[in-house]
Amino acid sequence: MTTDAARGFASLAVHAGQEADAATGAVIPPVHFSTTYAQDGIGGLRQGYEYGRSGNPTRTALQEQLAAIEGGSHAFSFASGLAAEDTLLRAALSPGDEVLLGNDVYGGTYRLLSRVLGPWGVRLRTVDMSDADAVRAAVSERAPRLLWVETPSNPLLRVTDIAGLAALGREAGALVVVDNTFATPALQQPLALGADVVVHSTTKYLGGHSDVVGGALVLSEAHRGGPLADEIGFLQFAVGAVSGPLDAWLTTRGIKTLAVRMQRHSENAASVAAFLQGHERVARVYYPGLVEHPGHDLAARQMSGFGGIVSVALESQEAARRFAESTRLFQLAESLGGVESLVNYPDAMTHASVRGTDAAVPVEVVRLSVGIEDIADLLDDLAQALAA
Ligand SMILES: *Cc1c(COP(=O)(O)O)cnc(C)c1O
């Protein structure tokens, strides 16, 4: 029984949903490209498959793997992280419902809520989610239908208390959603801490190789066989923002090495953070693994590692831009979570759309997605870029 839920994380990541092919014994299950399935008489489906939008064995394998690694009851895979979010929000909300979210959530999440779902009557309110008193006050003022948590946040790595907010949300009758893209289930398990739903952009660490766009939703045990699972399953089929077979397979392959990758990302990021913190041209380092980080103790309790993202403030906007354009091994690009190191200047790249709002990123800040290369090469590269 390869999906035995009692197994450890790394074993589940390698084996869940990955039974050898029954017909040939192939250890790696084949990728199923077929869009349609032969029926044994009208309505006589073999294993429930009828048409590629409603179900595909390669997608099923990924969904079983995702449910196992997050410790959830159901998982649903989508064409992108935002497609997953859209499906969840449509399933959980009705016109007039309100979402309470962090003031530093992923910009695409904010855009989806404000510009796509807003005109359909969904309301939103933002709060500093890392400030428990502020969240409590906001919830008691008016109970939201849904509480959206992202921790650590992007790019300033603020850390939010998942268990505390899950308890608060449950009391208020709100659905508690955690975007677990940055930490991944290798380092943080929101469903075990009381969250209802985990959201992923599998484009990032789960895929892990910067070669596939995808997203996922995983529901807690409390939702097994419940109306939310039914509604999400229905919308996945009825709207159809599903992952294609090759995308699903690439994501499955990425997840198999997630445990070792996150270990190496975290080790390298810790070394990068320590190096930057000791550098004369650096004004501030944002990394939850540093004892000076305001969320360090919480992160140490809530996470089993501090992850691969490090942000750094230099002395000035000019110095930050020059640093971001001077690295060689760290490539200047958006996105994060791949094996290769990337550097991003949020103010003009990933976070340009929130310039001038209270979610704006300081112009001195540069974000590093620390890859799994040799640490000596990464530090050499940062040293030469800081000298530039
Ligand atoms: C990238 C990202 C998303 C959106 O995912 P896509 O796969 O790009 O649609 C959502 N949340 C976080 C935290 C992300 O980094």
Helix H segments across 71-226?
Answer: 81-92, 107-111, 132-141, 162-172
- Whether the predicted pLDDT of 3 surpasses 70: no
Per domain, the residue ranges of the chain are: 4-255, 259-387
* Domain 259-387 CATH (choose: 3.90.1150.10, 3.40.640.10, 2.40.50.100, 1.10.3720.10): 3.90.1150.10
Helix H segments across 219-346?
Answer: 227-239, 245-256, 258-277, 296-302, 317-324
pTM for this prediction: 0.96
Q: Which of 341, 339, 334, 265 is nearest to 306 (CA)?
A: 265
The rounded Å distance from CA 93 to ligand 1 centre is 20
- Whether the predicted pLDDT of 185 surpasses 90: yes
* Domain 259-387 in the same topology as domain 4-255: no
Q: Which range (75-84, 262-271, 289-298, 346-355) has the least confidence?
A: 346-355
Structure tokens, 237: 């089929």
Q: What is the mean pLDDT of residues 81-98?
A: 98
**Ligand 1 site, CB within 6 A:** 80-82, 106, 108-109, 150, 154, 179, 181-182, 201, 203-204, 213, 215
110 catalytic, yes or no? no
Q: What is the pLDDT of residues 12-58, one digit of tens each?
A: 999 999 999 989 999 999 999 999 999 999 999 999 999 999 999 99
Radius of gyration of the chain (CA): 21
The topology under which CATH files domain 4-255 is Aspartate Aminotransferase; domain 2 (3.40.640)
The rounded Å distance from CA 40 to ligand 1 centre is 41
Per the listing, tokens 């109970």 go with 143
204 catalytic, yes or no? yes
User: Hey, what long-range contacts does 354-358 have (CB within 8 A, 24 or more apart)?
Assistant: 354/107, 354/110, 358/103, 358/126
Q: What is the pLDDT of residue 2?
A: 45
What's the one-letter identity of residue 119? P
Structure tokens, 138: 């906001």
- β-strand pairing of 331-332 with 342-344: parallel
Average confidence score pLDDT of the chain? 96
The rounded Å distance from CA 230 to ligand 1 centre is 24
